[in-house]
Amino acid sequence: MTAARQDAPTDTPLADVRDARVPGRLDGVDLAVQAGTTLALIGANGAGKSSLLHLLAGRLRARRGTVRVAGHAPRSAAAARARAYVPQRIDLPPHVRAGEVLAVAAQARGADDDALRDAATRMGLADVLSARVGRLSGGMQQRVALAAGLVGAPPLWLLDEPASALDAGGLTRLAAWVADHAAAGGAIVTSAHRPEEVAAFAHEAVLLRAGRRLHRGPVDGLFEGVDARDGTPLDLPDGVVPRRVPGPLLADALEGEDPRA
């Protein structure tokens, strides 16, 4: 397991956003993410999930408020070393081999061969490293993009809808990597809203609506198990997993969006 590298004192939040305001996108958002945290940002389209990730990734400036990554300004070299950002969509060159994509990413990150092999193994890419990206399935291409984005395992991971094009096996592998990274002292902030994605990647969630933070709390309190036949709540024995749907708080945050989408 690759340990998360720490460039800041352990009591410094890996992500720290205070009263962040971006006209038309975010309205006074606060967010603190400590080491060991796995956090999902949940909300309808336009709620501010990607904008908050972009602030932490240094791709967007706050008009007011402060943003820090491991104690550093988000556009600083120190912040870049402390984080990995994987956008929702990455168009990889189809003629390049998967192994070459990882090698370039590892070189840019300053990661060694062991880190490259670890990333490839984590995402189940050992057998396709010599294949050209254009010949891989969409799910396998997403695995390559995630392995390249997370190679070297910097402390803070920012993942924008990482499961949007990921196959079931890739989802399981990424969830295991996320859990190990958090256990090693890293932190993960991801945008997601489907129950299986939220449960796979996060123990906590922040609900956003119209650029404002509505709630922060455990993921388990946001979903309800229902009978697939008539939608009535279920009280099932331990170990039995029902179909999960948004509870009242989450449903309010997702108003105007189909929660099954």
The residues near 178 (Cβ < 8 Å, ≥ 6 apart) are 38, 157, 188, 200, 201
Any domain includes 1: no
Mean pLDDT of 221-231: 58
| Confidence band for 99, pLDDT divided at 50, 70 and 90 | very high
List the CATH number of the domain containing 158: 3.40.50.300
pLDDT digits (tens, 9 = 90+) for 51-74: 999 999 999 999 999 999 999 999
Residue 234 pLDDT greater than 50, yes or no: no
Any domain includes 5: no
Domain hosting 181: range is 15-253
Any domain includes 10: no
What is the pTM assigned to this prediction?
Answer: 0.87
Burial class (CB in 10 A: 0-12, 13-18, 19+), 48: buried
Any domain includes 110: yes
Return the structure tokens found at 112. 């060694």
The strand ranges marked E within the chain are 15-22, 26-33, 38-42, 64-69, 83-86, 156-160, 187-191, 204-209, 212-218, 223-226, 243-246
Residue 246 pLDDT greater than 60, yes or no: yes
Give percent of the chain with pLDDT exceeding 70. Answer: 86
Any domain includes 8: no
Any domain includes 32: yes
pLDDT for the residue 11? 82
Tally of domains in the chain = 1
pLDDT digits (tens, 9 = 90+) for 125-182: 999 999 999 999 999 999 999 999 999 999 999 999 998 889 999 999 999 999 999 9
- Residue of 90, 88, 86 whose CA lies nearest to 164: 88
Any domain includes 259: no
Q: What is the mean pLDDT of the chain?
A: 88
d(CA 4, CA 155): 5
Residue 3 pLDDT greater than 70, yes or no: no
What is the residue whose two structure tokens read 């602030």?
55
pLDDT for the residue 231? 46
pLDDT for the residue 236? 46
Better-scored residue on pLDDT, 200 or 178: 178
Residue 240 pLDDT greater than 70, yes or no: no
Any domain includes 143: yes
